[in-house]
Structure 1
Amino acid sequence: MTYDGHLKIGIVCSSNQNRSMEAHNFLSKKGFQVRSFGTGSQVKLPGAAPDKPNIYDFSITYDEMYKDLIRKDPDLYTQNGILHMLDRNRRIKPKPERFQACKDKLDVIITCEERVYDQVIDDLESRTKDEKQAVHIINIDIQDNHEEATIGAFMICDLVTLLHTSDDLDNEIDEILQEFETIVDRAILHTAAFY
């Protein structure tokens, strides 16, 4: 696989809110070509009770979510960090994006949990393809909270940096991932698919 000097990176979590957006923010500041996505059918944010999440459609903007939560309970959503997160998100891009709707070809897709990894693989396998471009799908499990999202963003950035410096990613990726797995002491999943 040859690159024009820039890997096209996709970061995917369930709702394109916390983990994928923290990594998106971090990688874009480092100059990487990155997009972020969610695989869920809807965007879910914590609500006033664990069984009452705030549920939105992927078409709603981060700004609209922010204003909705301010209207509902500004103290709660300030205290739990959701308003801060949405404020960051709306500075990066207008709204969450579903991976299943992305028609662009990426070089590397990094998912933040195994269920999302499986959804990305299922979606790619269901697409009509010409088998001309490989895409590497990698999973690093990252808990869905603000602290873990920040730690995860650093890990993802370290991994993307290693992948970016490879002269022959298709042949070197397994070795890079084995070494990285030892460094971060987390299980890494990897598979290759085609567009």
Structure 2
Amino acid sequence: MAQVHVQPEAVNGGTSNGMSEDSGGFKLKFCTVCASNNNRSMESHLRLAAANYPVISFGTGSLVRLPGPSITQPNVYQFNKTSYDSMYRELEAKDPRLYRANGILNMLGRNRDVKWGPERWQDWQPGVPRLEHNTDRGSEGVEGGVVDVVITCEERCWDAVVDDLLNRGSPLNRPVHVINVDIKDNHEEALIGGRGILDLADSLNKAAAEARDMNPSGFDSGNAASRANFDERVPEIIGEWQERWPNLPAVWTLAWF
């Protein structure tokens, strides 16, 4: 897999306000990934869904870990088996003052309005229909279980995704761009990162729509030749985006489902 580290060249912050109007037409399909599928990936999931992008999200950790009363006492849950609502109710019953003050209840309240619960990347089967997720925000367009772009929020998550894709052996023979946007795992940085990711999605989607016009059916089916024009432009698009968001260092590779 080709790998490009994109270095920031500007010193000012991003100029996008993170808002996007639905212009209709073609939309790339996105997947957002962080460690526990709770903070960074879910903020980005919500922003992309609100901008009418098809989107799913995952975590790459072995377990879902949320802050507890001390650094040695995290709250630990299982992926795919624990809902955001049940986490919310459990922590609210344990110590409502603590979990309101540290923003965990607000985060979980947001999450339960997006989808049922945290999912683990390694348990996902690309290409398998996700019909049971039809009430998730951003579910329209990703029912078939494939995406065009995976955006991780931490380099170890990017490593986990890329390694997992390599180990799967590309059974679908379908290209996917895997981009890491490094975001510190706190609520404030997740908000900034979500705006940056939406801006990146808009830039990628504009280029993809232009490339797709040449062969819509080939592009939509994931045909590598039909996507070559778009695939070749992605590093340049990320470089231009990085100038707008120098505090969100990015790493990119082209991988395969």
TM-score of the superposed pair, with normalisation by structure 2: 0.73
Alignment of 1:40-51 (within 5 A): 40-51=61-72
Partner of 1:177: 238
Deviations 1:129-182 (Å, cap 9, x if unpaired)?
236210000001100000000000000000000000002321210110111112
Amino acid at match of 1:187: P
CA distance in 1, matches of 2:181, 2:171: 28
* Structure 1 consecutive aligned stretches of length 4 or more whose deviation exceeds 6 Å: none
Please give the secondary structure, in 2, of the residue aligned with 1:165.
Answer: helix
Superposition pairs for residues 106-145 of structure 1, below 5 Å? 106-130=147-171, 132-145=173-186
SS in 2 for 1:87: helix
Mapped partners of 1:67, 1:128: distance in 2: 41
Q: 2:196 and 2:86 mapped to 1: Cα distance? A: 31
| Structure 2 gap ranges (5+) | 1-24, 126-144, 212-229
Amino acid in structure 2 at the alignment position of 1:188 = A
1:183 positional shift: 1.5
**Distance in 2 between the 1:131 and 1:34 partners?**
19
The correspondence for 2:48, drawn from 27, 37, 48, is 27
The corresponding residue for 1:191 is 253
Q: Which has the larger radius of gyration?
A: 2
Distance 2:244 2:169 in 1: 37
From 93, 102, 118, give the equivalent of 2:124. 102
Q: Hey, what does 1:83 align to over in structure 2?
A: 105
Aligned amino acid, residue 152 of structure 2: T
Structure ranking higher on relative contact order (CA contacts 8 Å, 6+ apart): 2
TM-score, structure 1 as length reference: 0.95
Q: CA deviation at 1:6?
A: 2.1
Distance 2:170 2:92 in 1: 44
Determine what percentage of the aligned residue pairs are the same residue: 47
Distance 2:65 2:195 in 1: 24
C-alpha separation between the residues in 2 aligned to 1:67 and 1:131? 40
Query: Equivalent residue for 1:63?
Result: 85
Q: 1:6-56 CA deviation, whole Å, 9 max, x = no partner?
A: 211000000000000011111111101111110001000000001111000
Aligned-residue CA RMSD in angstroms? 1.2
SS at match of 2:177: strand
Matched to 2:244, the amino acid is I
What SS does the aligned partner of 2:164 have? helix
User: 1:44-77: per-residue Cα shift (whole Å, max 9, x none)?
Assistant: 0000001111000011000110111011111100
Amino acid at match of 1:148: E
